[in-house]
Amino acid sequence: MKKFSGLFIFLVVFALSGVLIHQVLYNSPGIFVWSLQENPETGSKTIARTTMIPATPSEGMEPETGDAKVAASEDALDPAPAPEAIPAQNADPSEISLFNGKELGEWESTQYGGEGDVFVDEEGNLEFGFGAVITGVHWTGDVPALSNYEITLEAMKLDGYDFFCALTFPVKDSHATYVLGGWGGGVVGISSVDDLNASENETMNIEGFENDRWYQIKVRVTDDRLEAWLDDDQMVNLALKDKKISLLPGDIELSVPIGLASFQTRSQFRNIVWRNLAEAE
């Protein structure tokens, strides 16, 4: 008996809910979306789906004429034009973003042999996995300039014991590499100067690098000078007169014209930007 009384109560509540819903939706008696409607031709009444009653014009407003109705329907079909984009404040037209944080774009995984995975992670960082030797990418698009420019980026070492960032870049008619964390994890410098690698020439510095920390990296190339920074510290200030600039012979030569690489080290990169320099800089 309890079972039937519970079912009866449920049906009553269900029906009352339907009546209330119909009243709110259509402002007329009915249940859910159905109501008792009269056939104008036969005069008979039947249960049918309720048609939404069009809203009447508000008091004090003239009803729309035929032309106004047509114009209103055309406006509904043709959305208003989007506002013009507002240029970013203080945008530097000389800057070119080389990485959008979504895809490799014009970067291509470099086939050194034994390289690790290269991908864009969920946070929009370019990530290199462990490789048997070098893992990296090189630029396949046009190179904006061979001199009088800067490259800036952020790099992070996740795990490993050798260089987490080797940035290869053009120096007029040649190329060089800015190495960070090489030769066991501490050497910072340019490879190569007068055929001497970063651990042997005058650009060599020793730094300690922490895991899971972003480092600011910048290289500037002008007709007369090659400079490089680590965070706010200038690591390289090399006059180019009478200097031979070249790449260390071997796999890193595959990184031209612009490349990023790591050696048996997991690393990440972001905010890779090229900036052409004005003559006065």
> Mean pLDDT, to the nearest integer, of 37-47?
66
The whole-angstrom separation of Cα 173 and Cα 193 is 14
The β-bridge partners of 153 are: 217
What's the pLDDT score for residue 26?
58
Number of domains making up the chain: 2
- Indicate whether 220 belongs to any domain: yes
Please state, in angstroms and as integers, the Cα–Cα distance from residue 174 to each residue in 78, 95, 170, following that order.
56, 23, 6
The continuous run of DSSP H or E covering 180 comes out as strand 174-181
Q: Quick check: helix, strand or coil at residue 43?
A: coil
Residues 258, 108 contacting (CB under 8 angstroms)? no
The band of 127, judged by pLDDT with boundaries at 50, 70 and 90, is very high
Q: Please indicate, yes or no, whether residues 129 and 244 belong to a single structural domain of this protein.
A: yes
Domain that includes residue 229, residue range: 97-276
> Mean pLDDT, to the nearest integer, of 200-222?
97
Query: What is the pTM (predicted TM-score) of this model?
Result: 0.68
What's the pLDDT score for residue 30?
76
- Indicate whether 74 belongs to any domain: no
> Mean pLDDT, to the nearest integer, of 162-172?
98
The residues, any chain, with a CB within 8 Å of residue 71's CB and separated by 6 or more, are none
The band of 31, judged by pLDDT with boundaries at 50, 70 and 90, is confident
- Indicate whether 83 belongs to any domain: no
The β-bridge partners of 28 are: none
Indicate which CATH number applies to the domain containing 152.
2.60.120.560
